[in-house]
């Protein structure tokens, strides 16, 4: 983001008149729909329109921060947005920490939430904890002032959930570090469910967040995640990320027939990116292995080329974990134990740098202890 964009930062936050407030709210709703459709170029156009409509109001910066967070939730290893994210955050905090505007607590909460997420991805866990604690405080204050504020409830639901489900090493040090936030499991998912059941522009955003939180659950939680993702696919068929997410859940749940059917249907489409095609081939390989079809799985894996993709198409770190794990399992099935162990360790090493599914981590750990074998079921 050019520095000139922030030249009037000290003037941000002049109270909005009702007409302008409604105009910005409509623009945010439009941008949110573009994000749900997976059209981030169009979403960026909305950001520019918000900025041009009200350049001295922080709404444009908060909207852009939300879009950047969405980018990073998929492509967390990419750093091209870091400077922009930090500059935007500085601008919003400069305004909301010195403002009596009714939106100040909400916007401060948004910004600290984004910074908590960003610092967590970058391995700055102490900073992430501080920002996470601040985010919860601001969202709670916003909700106290406006008890029906759905936006605050949605982000509090996420914040409470993650605070109660910290990575194991953070649970240990959280007793020593007062700024690691504490959660509220009794409110986290109900808050999100309340937003989902509303007619708000955020309802489907909350639905995806809800599904994502439940993905690592068991039994009924997994089934609820699947139902939620299927709803989103029906509403936004053009968003390939929803489909890819559901396929990954089917694979993790050993629903290999369903995963294979979805991957085959998706691969038959012409307008998919090289990255999506490699991910689909990866999960097709996993599905075929789960069905005991080694020869077909070996052929499918030959189509995977995540490491060879052009730099212009960023590869999420978690996707490399899937590739290393699949490569390790194929090595085991071909009696190449040394190479298998090397790839299982690559999964473990990657988990120290970026978030990967606990199921993948546990599978890699198990692979280090005992060679992978095809299921006899």
DSSP one-letter string for 122-171 = TT-HHHHHHHHHHHHHHHHHHHHH-TT-HHHHHHHHHHHHHHHT--HHHH
Lowest mean pLDDT among 20-29, 185-194, 237-246, 295-304: 185-194
- Range scoring the smallest mean pLDDT among 163-167, 194-198, 324-328: 163-167
At 310, is the pLDDT very low, low, confident or very high (cuts 50, 70, 90)? low
26-60 burial, b at 16+ Cβ within 10 Å, e below that, comes to: ebbebbbbbbbbbbeeebeebbebbbeebeebbbb
Q: CA 342 to CA 347: how far, in whole Å?
A: 9
Q: How far apart are CA 342 and CA 11, in angstroms?
A: 56
- Mean pLDDT for 82-105 is 92
Q: How confident is the model at residue 246 (pLDDT cuts 50, 70, 90)?
A: very high
153, 166 Cβ separation under 8 angstroms: no
pTM value?
0.82
**CA 64, CA 47: separation in Å to the nearest integer?**
6
In the predicted structure, residue 300 carries a pLDDT above the cut 90: yes
Has residue 251 got a pLDDT over 80?
A: yes
The answer to whether the beta carbons of residues 209 and 158 sit under 8 Å apart is yes
- Tokens 């005991």 label which residue? 292
Torsion of CA 138, 143, 149, 150, to 10 degrees: 70
Question: How far apart, in whole angstroms, are the C-alpha atoms of residue 46 and residue 64?
Answer: 9
Which of 90-104, 150-164, 196-210 shows the lowest per-residue confidence on average (mean pLDDT)?
150-164
Q: Which of 53-62, 84-93, 150-159, 163-172 has the lowest mean pLDDT?
A: 163-172
Check whether 167 has a pLDDT greater than 90. no
Tokens for 9, please give them: 């930062």
pLDDT in tens, 332-342: 999 999 999 99
- Copy the structure tokens of residue 292: 């005991």
Instruction: Please tell me the least confidently modeled range out of 1-15, 133-147, 160-174.
Output: 1-15
- Read off the pLDDT of residues 1-39 as tens digits, 9 standing for 90 and up: 333 333 334 445 455 678 888 899 999 999 999 989 988
In which residue are the tokens 């050019």 written? 2
Cα 229 from Cα 212, distance rounded (Å) = 9
Cβ(287)–Cβ(251) under 8 Å? yes
Give the number of other Cβ atoms within 10 Å of residue 87's Cβ: 17
Instruction: Check if the beta carbon of residue 221 is closer than 8 Å to that of residue 214.
Output: yes
Among the listed residues 375, 372, 376, the one whose alpha carbon sits nearest the alpha carbon of residue 362: 372
**What is the predicted pLDDT for the residue at 275?**
84
**Cα distance between residue 290 and residue 86, in whole Å:** 43
The dihedrals phi and psi of 198, each to the nearest 5 degrees, come to -85, 175
The CA distance from 285 to 360, in Å, is: 15
Q: How far apart are CA 315 and CA 75, in angstroms?
A: 7
The 3-state DSSP class for residue 43 equals helix
pLDDT at 212: 83
pLDDT at res. 124: 81
Average pLDDT over residues 202-226: 82
Instruction: Specify the range with the lowest mean pLDDT, choosing from 92-106, 211-225, 273-287.
Output: 211-225
pLDDT of residue 217: 59
> Looking at residues 62-80, what average pLDDT do you find?
83
Q: Could you tell me the pLDDT band of residue 317, with boundaries at 50, 70 and 90?
A: confident
Query: Which pLDDT band holds residue 74 (cuts at 50, 70, 90)?
Result: confident
Instruction: Work out the average pLDDT over 173-180.
Output: 39
For residue 85, pLDDT over 70 is answered with: yes
Distance CA 18, CA 24 (A): 10
Q: CA 106, 110, 111, 117 torsion: positive or negative?
A: positive
């Amino acid at each position: 983001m050019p520095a000139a964009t922030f030249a009037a930062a000290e003037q941000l936050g002049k109270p909005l008149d009702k007409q302008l407030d409604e105009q910005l709210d409509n623009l945010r709703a439009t941008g949110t729909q573009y994000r749900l459709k997976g059209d981030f170029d169009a979403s960026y156009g909305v950001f520019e329109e918000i900025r041009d409509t009200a350049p001295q109001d922080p709404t444009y910066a908060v909207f852009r921060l939300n879009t950047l967070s969405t980018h990073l939730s998929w492509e967390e290893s990419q750093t091209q947005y870091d400077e922009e994210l930090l500059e935007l955050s500085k601008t919003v905090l400069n305004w909301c920490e010195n403002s009596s505007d009714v939106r100040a607590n909400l916007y401060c909460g948004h910004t600290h939430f984004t910074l908590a997420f960003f610092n967590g991805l970058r391995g700055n866990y102490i900073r992430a904890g501080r920002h996470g604690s601040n985010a919860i405080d601001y969202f709670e204050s916003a909700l106290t002032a406006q008890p029906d504020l759905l936006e605050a409830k949605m982000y509090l639901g996420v914040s409470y959930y993650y605070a109660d489900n910290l990575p194991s090493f953070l649970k240990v040090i959280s007793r020593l570090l007062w700024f690691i936030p504490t959660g509220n499991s009794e409110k986290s998912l109900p808050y999100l469910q309340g937003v989902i059941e509303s007619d708000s522009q955020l309802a489907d955003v909350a639905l995806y967040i809800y599904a994502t939180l439940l993905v690592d659950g068991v039994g009924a939680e997994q089934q609820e995640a699947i139902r939620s993702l299927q709803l989103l696919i029906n509403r936004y068929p053009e968003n390939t990320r929803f489909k890819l997410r559901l396929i990954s859940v089917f694979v993790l749940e050993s629903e290999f027939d369903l995963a294979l059917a979805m991957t085959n249907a998706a691969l038959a489409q012409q307008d998919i990116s090289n990255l999506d095609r490699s991910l689909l081939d990866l999960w097709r390989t996993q599905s075929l292995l789960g069905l005991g079809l080694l020869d077909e799985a070996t052929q499918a894996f030959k189509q995977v080329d995540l490491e060879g993709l052009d730099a212009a198409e960023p590869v999420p770190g978690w996707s490399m974990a899937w590739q290393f794990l699949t490569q390790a399992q194929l090595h085991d099935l071909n009696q190449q134990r040394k190479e298998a162990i090397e790839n299982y360790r690559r999964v473990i090493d990657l988990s120290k740098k970026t978030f990967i599914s606990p199921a993948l981590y546990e599978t890699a750990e198990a692979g280090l202890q005992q060679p992978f074998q095809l299921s006899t079921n």
